[in-house]
Amino acid sequence: MASIIILYLLYDEIFSLQMTDVIKNIFLMLVPGLIGLLGFLVAGLAMMASIITKEAILKIDEKKKSKSLVGILFSFYFEGFIVGLNIVLMILSYILVSFPQKINFYIFMILAFLISYIFWFSIIYAITLLGTCINFFFVNVYYNDSILKQNNKKSILTQITMANRNKKNSKYK
């Protein structure tokens, strides 16, 4: 918000040759950073999709919690869309700043607000996705552990059943 106030106060100065170069350089630094963030999101989504096992998915679906799982995965997609939108807005702003004439004040302020808001939203949302990844890991461990316990119980019951059958068969011999 402070950046918007500063831009409002410096509106007339922004379109001097020196300030446009500064703004263009800022965009030239932020766009590759956002592309890197987009790569982080794709890697995070790939990791999340590959970390969970088929058995855990079935167990989650059995407990009617599959919508939560899908929601977690779609949060990466949503963040990717927001980052992509921010990249497009920054490239358009870079082009607008490159023209020698002044931009309409209201268009300038709307673009400045949108870019600033979306940029910080993207950063904060990406940080929360890191926490989601950690929680997702523990959820996967929990469901896999419960599957192992269930399989162990089945294995023990099978062994007991086999032992009982062997005892019955040995009595008849």
Q: What is the mean pLDDT of residues 40-46?
A: 86
pLDDT at 159 over 60: no
CB 138 within 8 A of CB 30: no
pLDDT at 50 over 60: yes
User: Where are the chain's structural domains?
Assistant: 2-144
Q: What is the mean pLDDT of residues 42-67?
A: 78
For residues 88 and 82, give the distance between their C-alpha atoms in angstroms, rounded to a whole number.
10
pLDDT at 96 over 80: yes
Average pLDDT, rounded, for the chain: 78
Q: Distances in Å between the alpha carbon of 79 and those of 9, 32, 65, 84, 109?
A: 32, 16, 22, 8, 24
Residue 147 burial class via C-beta count within 10 angstroms: exposed 0-12, middle 13-18, buried 19 and up: middle
Residue 21 is encoded by which pair of tokens? 């170069």
Proportion of the chain above pLDDT 70, given as a percent:
72
For residues 173 and 160, give the distance between their C-alpha atoms in angstroms, rounded to a whole number.
20
What is the 8-class DSSP label of residue 16? Answer: S
pTM, to two decimals: 0.70
What is the 8-class DSSP label of residue 1? Answer: -
pLDDT for the residue numbered 137: 77
For residues 7 and 122, give the distance between their C-alpha atoms in angstroms, rounded to a whole number.
21
Lowest mean pLDDT among 43-52, 82-91, 145-154: 145-154
Residue bearing the bigger pLDDT, 173 or 87: 87
